[in-house]
Amino acid sequence: MTQKPDQCLGEWIDREALAEAMIPLIGQLYRNNNVVTSIYGRGLINRSVIAILKAHRFARHRIADETELSVHDTFQILKTMSEMNLGAASVDLGKLVAKYKDAGNGRSLEQFVREELAEVADKRHAATGHKGTDVVLYGFGRIGRLLARILIEKTGGGDGLRLRAIVVRKGSDNDLVKRASLLRRDSVHGPFDGTITIDEANNTITANGNLIQVIYSNDPASVDYTQYGIENALLVDNTGKWRDAEGLGQHLKCPGVARVVLTAPGKGELKNIVHGINHGDITADDKIISAASCTTNAIVPVLKAVNDQYGIVNGHVETVHSYTNDQNLIDNFHKGSRRGRSAALNMVITETGAATAAAKALPVLKGKLTGNAIRVPTPNVSMAILNLNLEKATSRDEINEYLRQMAMHSDLQKQIDFVNSQEVVSTDFVGSRHAGVVDAEATICNDNRVVLYVWYDNEFGYSCQVVRVMEDMAGVNPPAFPR
């Protein structure tokens, strides 16, 4: 039946009102209970009415009959959750609705939600002895500033990771002003979502209530963090200058630092962790961990999914990667091959260790992959092309549907996303929180040979993976629902 204009507008206003009523519930659950809500991976915290409604619309890509997710259902779930005195949790409202439709078994939506979340019911402010983990960012470049944004966004009630300090080399007399400005404004990722103030007398930046000490130092082993009230901190080295246990171990000599995360591939015996794949290998005895590279994080989850289902005989990984600060803006001397040529004017062939590094996170791939990279004149978002020979034959539709299901319902749903559109381009993936996004329309399949195209935000998506590793190391990764 054709809708009339007044009816169409009236339904929109009704949905707007419900989304508006959801906002305080989402905020209260987050700040008072440390409950993070989302819809098929799209976060709802601090979102506008329109953003919430767009998340509901987006959900049709994840629902079998492609119907739009009902705001009435998600509002009822939030209302029930707000009455349950919940402990810390991560709750996907879209997936809860889908599970209710499949397994409600005659229960009301309220009954279903109460039973589904019974594990964390009445657990608010449970005596865990945890008062948050201090975080220090050593280096404040592209990844450092994005980590800061994510950590500030996830502060909640202060029970998780708390950004306490950044350490940099002083660049100028107005260094603090410039550092704050770079956090506030970003040419790729847009403006900071919140307020930022600086105190030049005390060298601090306050961002959304987070008091961040700016420490100037040229020596990783010389800072006494305890003089700033920082204890047992998790330090994240974003410089890439030191990549082995000896170099990164300098941080552990500093009072106040307990553990170190490297945002680059580690050398020697360091564990290279890709969250979702081998984060279970992290133990309490591990003082230094590598979060591998952006490309390794993008490809390994997809490779694991494919290998589990079809088996990988061998393959080649070609990375089409945005240029980085390591390259020259215009032609000039560079110690690396080809990287001295202008990044803004050329495609530049260069090496990548991602294929080899993949085997560190997923040993079953050892010796099976080769890899190379092409740097291209875009500032962010890259693509990995996985050319694989499989043990089992498959079809384009079959492997696409399998990866779609992995993106929705598997343990890799935070790592793998899936898109099925002939119109997407690289800028559409700026801000993606997944490690990689499978482009279904680009998939090529011929018997047991398949070519997969995986987009990834090599800055923000990777930073989200780093934060997941940090949460595991700090023991502040809450249970996720639905189970």
* Secondary element (H or E) of residue 247: helix 245-248
Rounded to whole angstroms, how far apart are CA atoms 90 and 30?
10
- Give the pLDDT score at 127: 45
Backbone angles phi, psi at 75, to 5 degrees: -65, -40
- Give the pLDDT score at 67: 75
CATH topology for 131-263 is Rossmann fold (3.40.50)
**103 Cβ contact partners less than 8 Å away, ≥ 6 residues apart:** none
Residues facing residue 388 across a β-bridge: 315, 450
DSSP structure string for 322-339: E--TTS-SSS---SSSST
Q: Which residues of 450-461 are buried (b: 16+ CB within 10 A; e: fewer)?
A: bbbbbbbbbbbb
Total H helices, total E strands in the chain: 12, 20
CA neighbor of 380 nearest in space, from 309, 431, 305, 312: 431
pTM over 0.85: yes
Q: Return the number of other C-beta atoms located less than 10 Å from residue 285's C-beta.
A: 5
Q: Which CATH number fits domain 293-458: 3.30.360.10, 3.30.300.30, 3.40.50.1460, 3.30.200.20?
A: 3.30.360.10
CA neighbor of 81 nearest in space, from 36, 50, 40: 36
Lookup result for tokens 């061998």: 314
Tokens linked to 326: 């390591």
Q: What are the residue ranges of helices labelled H in 275-409?
A: 294-310, 354-361, 396-409
**pLDDT tens digit at each of 483 positions of the chain:** 577 888 889 989 999 999 999 999 999 999 888 899 999 888 899 899 999 999 998 887 766 656 789 999 999 999 999 999 999 899 999 999 989 988 889 999 999 999 999 999 998 865 444 478 999 999 999 999 999 999 999 888 888 899 999 999 998 889 999 999 999 999 999 999 999 999 999 999 999 999 999 999 998 998 999 999 999 999 999 998 999 999 999 999 999 999 999 999 999 889 999 999 999 999 999 999 999 999 999 999 999 999 999 999 999 999 999 999 989 999 999 998 999 999 999 999 998 888 888 988 999 999 999 999 999 999 999 999 999 999 999 999 999 999 999 998 889 989 999 999 999 999 999 999 999 999 999 999 999 999 999 999 999 999 999 999 999 999 888 888 998
CA atoms within 13 A on the CB side of 317: 30
Rounded to whole angstroms, how far apart are CA atoms 462 and 459?
5
DSSP 325: T
- Return the active site residues: 294
- Per DSSP, the three-state class of 462 is helix
- Give the pLDDT score at 158: 84
Residues facing residue 165 across a β-bridge: 136, 213
- Give the pLDDT score at 66: 65
Tokens linked to 374: 């092409």
- Give the pLDDT score at 28: 93
For the chain, which residues make up each domain, given as ranges? 3-118, 131-263, 293-458
Rg (CA), the chain: 23
CA neighbor of 454 nearest in space, from 348, 291, 321: 321
CA atoms within 13 A on the CB side of 307: 21
Rounded to whole angstroms, how far apart are CA atoms 89 and 364?
33
Rounded to whole angstroms, how far apart are CA atoms 270 and 260?
11
Residues in the chain: 483
Lookup result for tokens 């009954």: 111
Backbone angles phi, psi at 211, to 5 degrees: -85, 115
**Whole-Å CA distances, 30 to 208, 209, 419, 475:** 15, 15, 29, 18
Q: What are the residue ranges of helices labelled H in 5-68?
A: 5-33, 49-58
Identity at 118, one-letter amino acid code: A
